[in-house]
């Protein structure tokens, strides 16, 4: 169903060839609004069973260039989900302590427990993206990380974690528009950093790094989805739809009521 968006393992692909403005047959936000609300409600129901059942763990990874909409996706898609059982973790520049350990150390402790959804705003992938682009470690170190990531995610999967990874795909022009919007809107200005504008100069290197990272780590057990994200409404709709479909396929059930409950008298 999502063949168009999922990155097939071992098949070469190039982000430069994927249209970030694609919106299927939808023309505007109005066209998906109703369905998006339904998906959001459905996500709440599914999260409720997930929590009650207390068996499965869900890990959602969000990556993308600055302004691609990682924060916005979290805000809109998970708006109605009960706070119990969901956690959002943002990965920033590593601290001294984090840097003194292996790159997965800080990530592993935030992976979801049973009945939980963890949403990663940036993730262990930064260690083959920003780290590569800015040469923070030698190539022979980051090169090996693809394999470490595959093994790490396989281990999480084998231990009961469902993993979905989303690359929010925007064009360089769309980024310019959004950076300008941040600059010109007093309520958005806090989000703009001098660094973001500098990072933009490395756009092509980032795309190369993303191309390799996604190609190397899209697997059956932890697939990457490339989400056309120039239109925020389409991005939100599509991410919600993929998550709902995946959760539905898990056939989760509320646990059986405790024995003896049928004879209980509550007075």
Toward Mg ion, which CB reaches closer, 66 or 116? 66
Stretch in the footprint of Mg ion (CB under 5 A) among 9-17, 62-70, 86-94, 209-217: 62-70
244: partner contacted, choices ligand AMP, Mg ion, none (Cβ within 5-8 A by kind): none
Return the number of the residue (59 or 244) whose C-beta is nearest ligand AMP: 59
Rounded CA separation 153/223 (Å): 10
Minimum distance between the CB of residue 64 and ligand AMP, rounded to whole angstroms? 10
Using CB under 6 A as the binding rule, whether residue 146 contacts ligand AMP is answered as no
Q: Does 72 bind ligand AMP (CB under 6 A)?
A: no
Size of the site for ligand AMP (CB under 6 A): 9
Instruction: Give me 133's structure tokens.
Output: 């682009």
- Strands 86-90, 224-228: parallel, antiparallel or unpaired by DSSP? unpaired
91 binds, among ligand AMP, Mg ion, none (CB under 5 to 8 A by kind): ligand AMP
When CB distances are held under 5 to 8 angstroms depending on the partner's kind, the choice from Mg ion, ligand AMP, none that residue 230 binds is: none
Which of 5, 20, 126, 166 touches ligand AMP by CB under 6 A? Answer: 126
Assess contact for 15 and 206: CB atoms under 8 A.
no
What is the nearest approach in angstroms of ligand AMP to the Cβ of residue 94?
5
Contacts of 231 (CB under 8 A, 6+ apart): 21, 23, 29
Q: How far is the CB of 31 from ligand AMP (least distance, A)?
A: 30
State the binding partner of 203 from Mg ion, ligand AMP, none, CB within 5 to 8 A by kind: none
Which residue(s) pair with 89 in the sheet?
Answer: 120
Q: Which does residue 126 bind out of Mg ion, ligand AMP, none, counting CB within 5 to 8 angstroms by kind? A: ligand AMP
Query: Residue of minimal CB distance from ligand AMP?
Result: 126
> Strands (DSSP E) along the chain, which ranges?
57-64, 86-90, 117-121, 161-169, 224-228
Distances (CA, A) of 169 to 35, 39, 111, 232: 22, 21, 24, 11
Pairing of strands 57-64, 117-121: parallel
130 binds ligand AMP (CB under 6 A): yes
Q: Which two tokens stand for residue 215?
A: 């190609």
Minimum CB distance to ligand AMP, residue 41 (Å): 29
Q: At closest approach, how far in Å is the CB of 70 from Mg ion? A: 9
- Sign of torsion, CA 194 196 202 204? negative
Stretch that binds ligand AMP, among 87-95, 146-154, 164-172, 181-189 (CB under 6 A): 87-95
Half-sphere exposure of 73 toward its Cβ, with a 13 Å CA cutoff? 33
Task: Write out the binding residues for ligand AMP, residues 93-122 only, by CB under 6 A.
Answer: 93-94, 122
Distance CA 188, CA 186 (A): 5
Angle between helices 203-217 and 139-158 (to 10 degrees): 40
Q: List residues near ligand AMP by CB under 6 A.
A: 91-94, 122, 126-127, 130-131
């Amino acid at each position: 169903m999502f063949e168009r968006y999922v990155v097939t393992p071992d098949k070469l692909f190039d982000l430069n060839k994927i249209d970030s403005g694609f919106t299927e047959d939808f023309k505007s936000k109005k066209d998906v609004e109703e369905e998006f609300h339904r998906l959001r409600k459905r996500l709440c129901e599914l999260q409720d069973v997930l929590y009650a059942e207390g068996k499965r763990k869900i890990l959602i990874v969000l990556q993308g260039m600055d302004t691609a909409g990682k924060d916005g996706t979290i805000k809109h898609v998970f708006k109605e989900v009960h706070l119990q059982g969901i956690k959002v973790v943002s990965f920033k520049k590593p601290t001294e302590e984090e840097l003194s350990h292996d790159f997965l150390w800080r990530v592993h402790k935030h992976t979801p427990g049973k009945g939980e959804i963890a949403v990663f705003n940036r993730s262990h992938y930064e260690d083959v993206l920003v780290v590569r682009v800015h040469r923070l470690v030698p190539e022979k170190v980051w090169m090996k990380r693809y394999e470490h990531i595959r093994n790490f995610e396989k281990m999480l999967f084998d231990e009961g974690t469902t993993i979905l990874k989303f690359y929010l795909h925007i064009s360089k022009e769309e980024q310019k528009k959004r950076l300008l919007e941040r600059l010109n809107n007093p309520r958005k200005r806090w989000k703009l950093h001098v660094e973001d504008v500098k990072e933009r100069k490395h756009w092509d290197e980032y795309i190369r790094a993303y191309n390799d990272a996604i190609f190397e780590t899209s697997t059956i057990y932890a697939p990457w989805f490339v989400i056309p994200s120039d239109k925020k409404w389409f991005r939100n709709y599509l991410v919600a739809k993929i998550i709902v479909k995946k959760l539905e396929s898990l056939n989760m059930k509320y646990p059986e009521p405790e024995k003896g409950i049928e004879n209980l008298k509550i007075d």
